[in-house]
Amino acid sequence: MSYELLQQIWFVLIAVLWIGYFVLEGFDFGVGILLRTLGKNEAERRALLTTLGPLWDGNEVWLLVAGGATFAAFPEWYATLFSGFYLPLFLILVALIIRGVAFEYRSKHGSQVWRERWDLALLIGSLVPALLWGVAFGNIVRGVEFAEKSATGGFLYAGGLLPLLNPFGLLGGLVTLSLFMTHGAIFVSLKTDGDLRYRARDLAVKIGLVAAVLAVAFLLWAQLAYSNNLWTWAPVLLAAVCWLGAIFMVRAGREGWSFLLSSLTLALAVIALFGMLYPNVMPSLDRTLNNGLTIYNASSTETTLKIMSLVALVMTPIVLAYQGWTYWVFRKRLTAAQIANPEVGILDGVH
């Protein structure tokens, strides 16, 4: 297997990891943001959190693996990304920590004020990453400002925080936020029953229509202004069709099909964004300078990529099998009536 082919394979694999993260953690974020909106009382909020209880921490593994794979396969990309986007990524990390603590501590005390404070922490810990991931990916596709090469031959990010808050980046943030909220509402309608299910279904339709407008504007802007490849029109158009199908299916009460279609939409959106980038991983804002990062000048050595490929070949099926088993075991619907004594303590593993 040639070095160039290995570089291309690992670019695709990292895209696959981000697909897994956005699809699985996306509904996690959505449920966290909508916890107080959908949950009208403590029993309903506990039911919402119980749908995530066995899943949320496993979903975050996709982010860890994506970051680790980027560090190992494309160290120049990793270094430039984390130096240039340091503050947004730091805020995401803090939000994820707050979110994890909120899951664990919310029901450790019977006070209503205590629970409301952790609900707010869960909202912030879910909303901030849902927004900032879109801002980050929007700026990666748009391109960033590079300085001259460093003494070691690497690339230096020359921008700051404010240049990242441009209209295209902010639109990307609103897109991921609205998509995740809709994805989360569809997940709730799939995993619960009774009034909670019907409220989630109605909310998914309303937010989904807003998300459709934002996503179409963002993807068309990205395709027309920043795409390197014409073939990315295909996933852009397919994503639009799948999203409209997801809204129609959830409105018709076919939540399973709706969740599948919303998942396909997120997957196709990531495919489109990575396709627009290829062969870049972090293009220059000024395309005429041709001084951005590509899969060829940002990758590790051939030996490193070969070793990583062998590890991925062994470990990936194991991780997928385990996570698939988890989702199968906890596949049944929940209702607020199934939550015993919601105002008192909790059973182990139920939040």
Residue type, 192: T
Q: What is the pLDDT of residues 243-263, one digit of tens each?
A: 999 999 999 999 999 999 999
Task: Identify the weakest region by mean pLDDT among 64-78, 82-96, 146-160, 215-229.
Answer: 146-160
How many residues are listed for the chain in this entry?
A: 351
Encode pLDDT of 15-34 as tens digits: 999 999 999 999 999 999 99
CA distance 258 to 250: 5
Across the chain, mean pLDDT equals: 88
pLDDT at 304 exceeding the cut of 90: yes
Instruction: Work out the angle at residue 88's Cα, subtended by the Cα atoms of residues 84 and 90, and round it to the nearest 5 degrees.
Output: 95
Label residue 288 by pLDDT band (50, 70, 90): low
Give 305-320 pLDDT, tens digit per residue: 999 999 988 988 888 8
Confidence class of residue 327 from pLDDT cuts 50, 70 and 90?
Answer: confident
Complete domains list, the chain, with CATH: 23-154+164-338 (1.20.1630)
Q: Among the residues of 143-253, which ranges form H helices?
A: 167-191, 195-226, 233-251
| pTM for the whole structure | 0.90
**pLDDT category, 213, cuts 50, 70, 90?**
very high
Output the CA angle 94-97-101, nearest 5 degrees: 140
Whole-angstrom distance, CA of residue 240 vs CA of residue 320: 27
- DSSP secondary structure letters along 263-326: HHHHHHHHHHHHHHHTTEEE-BSSGGG--SEETTTS---HHHHHHHHHHHHHHHHHHHHHHHHH
- Span 59-117, pLDDT tens digits: 888 999 999 999 999 998 998 888 888 888 999 999 999 999 998 888 887 788 888 89
Q: How many CB atoms lie within 10 A of CB 319?
A: 15
Per the DSSP assignment, residues forming a β-bridge with 192 are: 334
